[in-house]
Amino acid sequence: MRFSRRRRDPVEVNLTPLIDVVFLLLIFFMVSTTFETRQALELELPESASGQPMEGAPVTLVVTASGEYRLDDRVYSAGSLGDALAAQAEQAREHGLVVEADGRAAHADVVRVLDRAAGLEIRHVRIATEAVAKPQAETP
């Protein structure tokens, strides 16, 4: 006796929902991730309640707590600071100079930057600060 075999439909796995979920996760993580602009440089900026953001693309000069100067991811000493700043002077005159001085940096190191900037006729100089959280009034 011969039995007839039933034909089975081939098994298929639909990957479309899996791909949709992976793309949604990718978009979620891309949107929720914050990117840090300072790489491996931990500064304690002084606080300011009246600071305002600067427009354009200013030249940023960092003064570390140890007295080093950083400009365009390069480290400079006090002696070579003038030449490095002179190379960026035209852009600094046009868009301004932002001095990101660590709160623990010596006052003399910051004054040295301001003096070099004045010697190069850079007039728009700002010192970067951290915004102060305004205290909320307590309600009874």
Strand order in the sheet with 97-101: 74-76, 69-71, 59-63, 97-101, 125-127
Please report whether residue 123 resides in a domain: yes
CATH code of residue 71 = 3.30.420
**pLDDT tens by residue, 83-116:** 888 898 888 888 888 888 888 888 888 899 899 8
pTM above 0.85, yes or no: no
Q: With 60 as the cut, is the pLDDT of residue 57 above it?
A: yes
Looking at residue 19, what is its pLDDT? 94
**pLDDT tens by residue, 13-55:** 889 999 999 999 999 998 888 766 555 556 666 666 766 665 6
Residue of 121, 115, 79, 83 lying closest to 99 (CA atoms):
115
**For the chain, how many structural domains are there in total?**
1
Q: Which domain holds residue 53?
A: 47-131
Please report whether residue 63 resides in a domain: yes
**Structure-model confidence comparison of residues 132 and 23, the more confident one:** 23
